[in-house]
Structure 1
Amino acid sequence: MLKFFRISHWPPPRVLATGFALIILLGGFLLTLPFASSDGTTTPFIDAVFTATSATCVTGLVTVDSGSHWSVAGQVIIICLIQVGGLGFMTMSTLFAIVLRKRISLRERLILQEAMNQTNIEGIVRLIRKVLLYSITIELAGAILFAIRWSFDMPLGKAIYFGAWHAVSMFNNAGFDLFGSFGVPFVSFTDYVNDPIINTVAMLLIIFGGIGFIVMSDIIEYRARKRLSLHSKVVLSMTGILLAVGTIVIFIFEFTNMNTLGELSWSGKIWASLFQSVAPRTAGPNTVDLAALRQATQFFIILLMFIGASPGSTGGGIKTTTFATLIGAVAAMIRGKDDIVMFKMRLARERIFKALTITMLSLALVTFVTMCLATTEDHSFIKVLFETTSAFGTVGLSLGLTPQLTTIGKILICLTMYAGRLGPLTLAYALGPRSEKELYRYPEGKITIG
């Protein structure tokens, strides 16, 4: 029992779980202080912790409007939590170690391996350097483009601040925005539904943050290596398929809905459909009123949010590779094949078991929390399911339920965002006892399936 409290004996998943929890509590404490709110009053602890959880878990669900409720100091705290939460606190710790020229220990490399979803520690520090370089470069480019565009709508200083703030938020797939400061809370990017520059920059930041740093590294080094890894091929193909299918389905379902796409021009309809297809990749902003979407569209977005982004990224969900593995397993079973083959390569069986385990644990979590919220909150089932899935997938899209949650509901959503950011499997490893290798195997039995 004492070993559980001895940090030196903790497995990497437990270190990650504890680290994220401490960052959330610290962020929540800072946000309760009067200087963090725009009117100088103390923010209720539950709302401060909820915001800190949402920021650290790069979700975007909020109980108070980020643009109007928080002061500049509070907004800076939130964006710092988003950056640390998106890249991971171990990545940020490694940054300081690199700057101070300190050696990265084997234990720290093992924790980084767990944090980045890698199968081994070979080249993990080199990958972290790339993560930091790519992140700074992409966020800087996004900030400049945003600032140039918004300089036509607001003072230059505010445009630069908005550009930098939203570039970090979009790249880390957080979904926080400051547009409530213009008088209407919780408006997100709805004023820019027809704006090609804002749409393009935001979507590219979301996609780059969602495909994962391993894939970005593969793409950048493609000219030298002349090949992509199987992981990158699966991520890019599945991401492209989901974005294309999502855009088409949303376009068809909402084409005649006068409250969403109906009144927009053809180009506006396409931009809005594409943006609403990209956002469930765990990003969170929206350019149309999601509560006005047809229920069929809302349910389809729930499916996209559950799948989420890709491994080693700033996003959540069960991940695109997990979904691709499940599709591959179904296809192999229907065709009577023993192996799952993707791009002429066979997947190991432990990958299949891991994909199935993650999916079942995620389904169990979403189902349990949805049932609890359906009991504590007096709202429609689709709203409750949408909000729960958004929290689990660290998406941040909302039908307007989050600001109306009861205290119990806020706690449940906080725990769901936390579990979604870490991953149900990582959290299970963190809370469970250290497994020991069995020295025997039971005889094989048969049951009837189907």
Structure 2
Amino acid sequence: MQILALGFMGVILAGGVLLSLPFCNRQPITFSDALFTSTTAVCVTGLVTVTPAVQFTLAGQIILLILIQIGGLGIIACAVGFLLLLRRQITVKERIVIQETYNMEAPGGMVAMILRVIKGTLAVETAGAVLYAFRFIPEFGVLRGIWYAVFHAVSAFCNAGIDILGDTSFQKYVGDPIINITTVLLIIVSGIGFSVWQDLISNGRRIRRREIPNKWWFTRLRLHSKLAIVTTLILLIGGTVCIFLMERNNPATLGNLSTGEKWMAAFFHSTSTRTAGFATVSQSGLYTQSKFLSCILMFIGGSPGGTAGGVKTTTVAMVVLTCLSVFRGGEQVECFGRRLSGKNIRMGFAVIMTAVTVLFAGTIAITVFEPQVPFIDILYEAFSAVGTVGLTADLTPTLSSASHMVLIVMMYIGRIGPISLALLFGGMSKPKERARELPEQRIMVG
């Protein structure tokens, strides 16, 4: 975990230096802006202080794309892929690092798993680029259209939300089914997590070999996959319906669209808040209640093991199930015929409480630095940074340098995860073994 956290930090600093070089920029850029852009790329967030389409040359945009890809795949996966490309064997020590990074129980099959992730990522990004090309090539010409298709396919799959079209994201494509459907599919495919797709593919093969009946496919999935899929569907559908109902008459967002376009824009926003950061409607024009709902969706994010940020769907699902179990007087937490481990539950609450603490600290700091900005917009910015989303109420470029530094720290913590941050500063100390259990004593709660 410490290697992961320090690795991201090193790539961010290197990216900041590269993006500050003259050949990467069409106009002068401060190092703080270059560092912020590098952070938002590596942390696959999408908040920007400069407009990438205007600021960066082709070389700068290529470096930006590489940083996004590294951030999406992860430092360890990229390093393993590079070593294998050089035909160098992975050492035992390196395998242990991989095992700790991906929280795997056994070191066997790790390299093969990472190779599948890399190959799957490149395959899906290529498919996304082909679909985007149907829109961008007729609009921008062959060469620029292909470049735009590749860049936005990688950015969407990695949940980065960075575009090179201008300063309004995908707003001019609000009614375009190709852009909307392609982007949403890339976000969902990567946000559900690589382990879920591996589970789905494995069960699909068993069904084709007729080892299990079609109707049993869901019951054969691992508990993690079931929780991730069900929670994702609930958030996507629930978020879409709520955004549609709250924004359907808002002239600044959905009000002037047709009914079909309203539903499509609502679904896009519900999906994008779960850590992609692309926007087809004005974020500053959203009603306050919609911004608050979006903050909740940004906080939850996607599923573990993918490119998404947030505290993760399975974490929130586990905490909700724990609360329901307590309310019912249950002694254990059950889900899909399985019992959740106490260690998992404690870790889930620790993740959420740490994320909430970072959010409170960051929000208070920005409020101090920007007293003139509406609180809901600061809150929206803070949730977007910690959730590595990238949506903003047109606020990021107008903030002070101090606020930008706060956002850099929040994006970094959001990408590596609060637990990794604690391990970075606290070390990997093991709990002391006790010869006897301590006596139990209850306290008053609530």
- TM-score band w.r.t. shorter chain: over 0.9
Q: Show the counterpart of 1:69.
A: 55
Q: Cα offset for 1:16?
A: 1.0
Single out whichever of 440-449 and 82-91 deviates more from structure 2.
440-449
- Which amino acid is the alignment partner of residue 261 of structure 1? L
Q: Cα offset for 1:117?
A: 4.5
Q: How does 1:131-170 map to 2 (within 5 A)?
A: 131-170=117-156
Quote the Cα distance in structure 1 between the aligned partners of 2:102 and 2:275. 17
Q: Cα offset for 1:82?
A: 0.3
Q: Deviations over 1:289-315 (max 9, x none)?
A: 011010000000000000011111111
Please give the root-mean-square deviation of Cα atoms over the aligned residues, in Å: 1.2
Quote the Cα distance in structure 2 between the aligned partners of 1:16 and 1:61. 22
Matched, 1:192 2:182: no
List, as ranges, runs of 4+ consecutive aligned residues in structure 1 with deviation greater than 4 Å. Answer: none
- Which amino acid is the alignment partner of residue 444 of structure 2? T
Q: Cα offset for 1:119?
A: 4.5
Quote the Cα distance in structure 2 between the aligned partners of 1:122 and 1:251. 47
Q: Show the counterpart of 1:6.
A: none
Of 367, 377, 383, 1:383 maps to 377
Quote the Cα distance in structure 2 between the aligned partners of 1:114 and 1:417. 22
Quote the Cα distance in structure 2 between the aligned partners of 1:278 and 1:366. 22
- Which amino acid is the alignment partner of residue 241 of structure 1? I
Quote the Cα distance in structure 2 between the aligned partners of 1:119 and 1:400. 44
Of 424, 432, 435, 1:438 maps to 432
Matched, 1:29 2:6: no
Q: Show the counterpart of 1:255.
A: 248
Q: How does 1:40-439 map to 2 (within 5 A)?
A: 41=28, 43-180=29-166, 186-226=167-207, 227-377=220-370, 378-439=372-433
Whether contact under 8 Å (1:88, 1:115) holds in the other structure is no
Q: Show the counterpart of 2:444.
A: 448
Structure 2: gaps of 5 or more residues = 208-219
Quote the Cα distance in structure 2 between the aligned partners of 1:233 and 1:112. 25
What's the secondary structure of 1:256's corresponding residue? coil
Q: Cα offset for 1:448?
A: 1.4
Matched, 1:16 2:9: no
- Which amino acid is the alignment partner of residue 182 of structure 2? V
Q: Deviations over 1:252-299 (max 9, x none)?
A: 000111111111001110110000000011100000001101000000
Single out whichever of 103-112 and 247-256 deviates more from structure 2.
103-112
Quote the Cα distance in structure 2 between the aligned partners of 1:344 and 1:175. 38
Q: Cα offset for 1:120?
A: 4.2
Q: Cα offset for 1:437?
A: 2.9
Quote the Cα distance in structure 2 between the aligned partners of 1:121 and 1:306. 32
- Which amino acid is the alignment partner of residue 22 of structure 1? G
Q: TM-score w.r.t. structure 2 length?
A: 0.94
Structure 1: gaps of 5 or more residues = 1-12, 181-185
Quote the Cα distance in structure 1 between the aligned partners of 2:186 and 2:160. 11
Quote the Cα distance in structure 1 between the aligned partners of 2:269 and 2:425. 36
What's the secondary structure of 2:227's corresponding residue? helix
Quote the Cα distance in structure 2 between the aligned partners of 1:147 and 1:324. 38
Q: Cα offset for 1:433?
A: 3.1
Percent identity, please: 41
Q: Cα offset for 1:435?
A: 1.4
What's the secondary structure of 2:138's corresponding residue? coil
Q: Deviations over 1:331-388 (max 9, x none)?
A: 1112221221111111111000000000000000000110011000131111111111
Quote the Cα distance in structure 1 between the aligned partners of 2:65 and 2:32. 19
Q: Deviations over 1:376-406 (max 9, x none)?
A: 0131111111111101011001111110111
Q: Cα offset for 1:225?
A: 3.4
Single out whichever of 331-340 and 413-422 deviates more from structure 2.
331-340
Quote the Cα distance in structure 1 between the aligned partners of 2:416 and 2:428. 18
Q: Cα offset for 1:192?
A: 0.5
- Which amino acid is the alignment partner of residue 359 of structure 2? V
Number of residue pairs the alignment of both structures matches: 431
Whether contact under 8 Å (1:117, 1:312) holds in the other structure is no
Q: Measured at CA, do residues 317 and 118 of structure 1 come closer, stay the same or move farther in structure 2, by a change above 3 Å?
A: farther
Quote the Cα distance in structure 2 between the aligned partners of 1:243 and 1:353. 27
Quote the Cα distance in structure 1 between the aligned partners of 2:266 and 2:241. 7
What's the secondary structure of 1:153's corresponding residue? helix
